[in-house]
Amino acid sequence: MHDETVHNFLLVCPTFTRQRDALHLEVGPCKYNIKHLLNDTQGMRAVLKYITHTRCFEQTFGDVTPPRKRGNERRIEQNQNQT
């Protein structure tokens, strides 16, 4: 049994292997780490999708599906991907 930490939930927990595989595909191998996932727009959007698909927080927080990207968010994300 693993501790219920952010690291475990996002990167290790065997219960959510399928959902985590989708998260990994979305952000890519270079950005599949806690620092990226929790500190930029693309990472947070992917984490919110992951949380939605695990349904872990649904009872407490309801639907946490991220809103659709707006034009300025796309530009910011593109700039982050270029660095």
**Mean pLDDT, each 10-residue run in order, the chain (83 residues):** 84 94 94 94 92 88 77 60 61
User: Is 81 domain-assigned?
Assistant: no
Q: Is residue 83 part of a domain?
A: no
| Domains contained in the chain, number | 1
User: Does residue 52 belong to any structural domain of this protein?
Assistant: yes
pLDDT score, position 17: 96
Residue 20 lies in a domain: yes
One-letter amino acid for residue 67 of the chain: P
Residue 57 lies in a domain: yes
pTM score: 0.73
Is 25 part of a structural domain of the chain?
Answer: yes
What is the domain range of residue 69?
6-76
User: Is 41 inside a domain boundary?
Assistant: yes
**Rg of the chain, C-alpha, whole Å:** 13
**What 3-state class would DSSP assign to 74?**
helix
